[in-house]
Amino acid sequence: MRLSADLAEALGRCTGLAADSHTLPAACYVDPEVAALEAETVFRQGWVGIGRGDRWAASGDYAAMDLGGVPVVVVRDEEGVLRAYANTCRHRSAQVMEGEGHCTKMRCPFHFWTYGLDGRLLGAPSMRDTNGFERADHGLIEFMTAERQGFAFVSLEDSPPPIDDWLGDFPDLHARWDLGSMVTTRRREFTVACNWKAFAEVFNEYYHLPYVHPGSIDDTYDDPDDPEVVVGAWATHAGTTQGTGGLLEADQVKALPVIGTLNDREAHGVRYSWLYPTLVTATGAEGMWMYEVYPDGPDRCRCAQVVCFPPETAALEGFAEVAEAYYERFDVAIAEDIPMLERQHRGMRSPFARQGRFSYLEPNVARFAGWYADRLLSVG
Ligand code: FES
Ligand SMILES: [Fe+2]
């Protein structure tokens, strides 16, 4: 599949810098052909974040997912290593695992071919008359995985770039949060009738705050800092807050302890980052809230809200009750964003949708547009 000349020209206007870039063309959000190209270049090349590693806390914990149209099963093996496999049976290709949970083996429900957590085919009934059949030749196809800073990543590419190059200076700019030690205290899934990129974008820009969040969080956020230049497949934008960004204005007195290792600016603000393509994070004074977002065709996305705190905070007496006020803040804000995202998507579907321009308050969105355009243009 190739890009049309018009689309290639439009993508060429996405330079990555808010001041001179154009927005991604609407076709990138609504056109099934672009979605197919995107699956190939954005989801089947490079690394894709799949959330926090502690979702697979114990050996045998698994989750089935769809990454760019590819069914994948992620499981922690007996040695504690996170593994990812093509979730397609080596017999006649049924999807092996569904949903999430705990298992000791992975069994295809169609004819009971059974795979170990290491992907090996352990059992296949009634195959004794099949000439030349070797179980060893029919293990699940395995993908590369990595865990960094407590996040889990999968690559469907044979030889992806080194994960540490992909992440660039994300670890450095988040070092004082010690993200690797944080624990997930809440994970909540939902779907939205918009393109996955729009969902990630709204989390990454300050521009809409006064208009979409006037009574809930807008007054908490000061004007953001100038964006920093970073290296790697990610973008970031930080700013200070009045009180904590993790609570509604009315709940500020409930604030949990500030992470002791943060510098003064970090202790009085929030850093918003986007680990392309699927993870968007907000690291605040007391913990982190983030979303995973995955396409479900161009017109829908599957999202998960994930909230993490340092283990010592999560162990505090009364933590569960106070944490509810944080969850409330995240739920209220996203409930204000979702109708706007669905409205944006309806506008995007018009043949008269045109490339727009960015405000200085949207540097992460502009930087992503530049990165995404480059990925699509790489297949010409
Ligand atoms: S398709 Fe899986 S056992 Fe037959
Ligand atoms: Fe928002």
Domain boundaries, the chain: 5-45+165-377, 48-160
Q: Identical fold at 5-45+165-377 and 48-160?
A: no
Q: What are phi and psi of 85, to 5 degrees?
A: -130, 155
What pLDDT does 380 receive?
A: 60
Task: Indicate which residue's Cα is closest to atom 4 of ligand 1.
Answer: 111
Residue 124 CA: which ligand 1 atom is closest?
3
What pLDDT does 2 receive?
A: 78
180 neighbors 149 (Cβ within 8 angstroms)? yes
CA angle 63, 65, 71 (to 5 degrees): 120
Report the top-level CATH class of 48-160. Answer: mainly beta
Mean pLDDT by 10 residues, the chain (380 residues): 90 97 98 96 97 98 96 98 98 98 98 98 98 98 98 97 98 98 98 98 97 95 94 98 95 96 97 98 98 98 98 98 97 98 98 98 98 91
What pLDDT does 236 receive?
A: 98
Tell me the two tokens of residue 203: 């989390």
What pLDDT does 1 receive?
A: 65
What pLDDT does 114 receive?
A: 98
Task: Indicate which residue's Cα is closest to atom 3 of ligand 1.
Answer: 111
Task: Indicate which residue's Cα is closest to atom 1 of ligand 1.
Answer: 92
With a Cβ cut-off of 6 Å, ligand 1 is lined by 89, 91-92, 94, 108, 110-111, 113
Strand order across the beta sheet in which 301-309 lies: 183-192, 301-309, 288-295, 279-283, 269-275, 234-241, 221-224
What pTM, to 2 d.p., does this model score? 0.97
CATH number of 5-45+165-377: 3.90.380.10
- Ligand closest to CA 112: 1
